[in-house]
Structure formats: C-alpha cells, structure tokens
Amino acid sequence: MENEENFEKEKFSIRECANCHKLVSLLLPVDAIDCIYCGAKLENVRLLARKKIETTATITNGVVTRATTVDISTGGMRIQYHGSQIPTNAKVIVDADELSIHRPATAVWSSGAGADIAQSGLEYTERRAGRR
C-alpha cells in the first residue's frame, strides 16, 4: 500500500528525443536522462518550461521579504533575496505586481547563493493565477 501511495504522488511526463524523435517516458523532476532508444542526453528535463524574468517580488510568510525573480514557470518561480533562507515547506504568499502574480506558494528548496544572499524555489499551491 505504501508503494502505491508513493506511486500516485510521482509526476510522469513523455518527451520526444531530439535525436531519434521517439517518445521517452520520464519520472519528474530529473536534470538529465539518456534516451532509452538512441542514448542521446535529454538535458534539463522539467515538468514545466521556465523563462528567465528578473523583476521585484515580495514574499510573505509572517515576515515580508523583498526578492528578485530569477526564472518563472506556470507552476512556480525561483527567487533571490538577502537574509535567512526561507525554510523548506514554508507556506508563503508571492506578490510580483509587474507580472500580475498574487498567489500562495510553498518553498520546495532553499540554498545560500553567497554572502547574505539566498535563493528559493517556490511552487504555487493554486494552479490559477490570483488577482488583486
């Protein structure tokens, strides 16, 4: 039963190999995988495409943190900010007015990016864009 529960939580995707044009099924997220048919590398395989966009954002989780977006997708964003790392699994509110984003999210990872600078990956907890 435990294996069945874990199986249901996993995300699968099917991608076309750019080399042999055959379809390859993937368990996501993975950074790179070899095509099972021709051996070509399928790199940076992600569930949702990301776009590099740098703009200001405010992250609220009891404390208001000013941040800069690094990249965004329809499922979330990577942010960079000064101060302590946002704890993994922390529930936050993301406000990026220039992108018309006002959404709840969860911090799925955080790491230090250098002297007093941190980065976090945020996954939206609602799939529809919130509006003010």
Residues 17-52: pLDDT tens digits?
778 888 777 766 555 678 888 988 876 555 566 788
CATH number of 114's domain: 2.40.10.220
Question: Are residues 37 and 63 located together in one domain of the fold?
Answer: no
Cα–Cα distances in Å, from 108 out to 2, 20, 98, 125? 23, 34, 23, 11
At 92-123, the pLDDT tens digits run: 999 999 989 999 999 988 988 667 899 999 99
Question: Are residues 81 and 117 located together in one domain of the fold?
Answer: yes
Taking residues 81-93, report their average pLDDT.
93
The Cα 1–Cα 123 span in angstroms is 27
Question: Are residues 119 and 55 located together in one domain of the fold?
Answer: yes
User: Is residue 2 scored above 50 in pLDDT?
Assistant: no
Coil, strand, or helix at residue 69?
Answer: strand
Query: Helix (H) and strand (E) counts for the chain?
Result: 1, 11
Residue 90 CB coordination number (10 Å) = 17
Residue 66 confidence (pLDDT): 95
Question: Are residues 37 and 66 located together in one domain of the fold?
Answer: no
Q: Is residue 131 in some structural domain?
A: no
Question: Are residues 55 and 109 located together in one domain of the fold?
Answer: yes
- What domain count does the chain have? 2
Q: Is residue 72 in some structural domain?
A: yes
Range of the domain at 26: 2-43
Residue 31 confidence (pLDDT): 56
Residue 46 confidence (pLDDT): 57
pLDDT bin (cut points 50, 70, 90) of residue 58 is very high
Residue 130 confidence (pLDDT): 44
Residue 8 confidence (pLDDT): 44
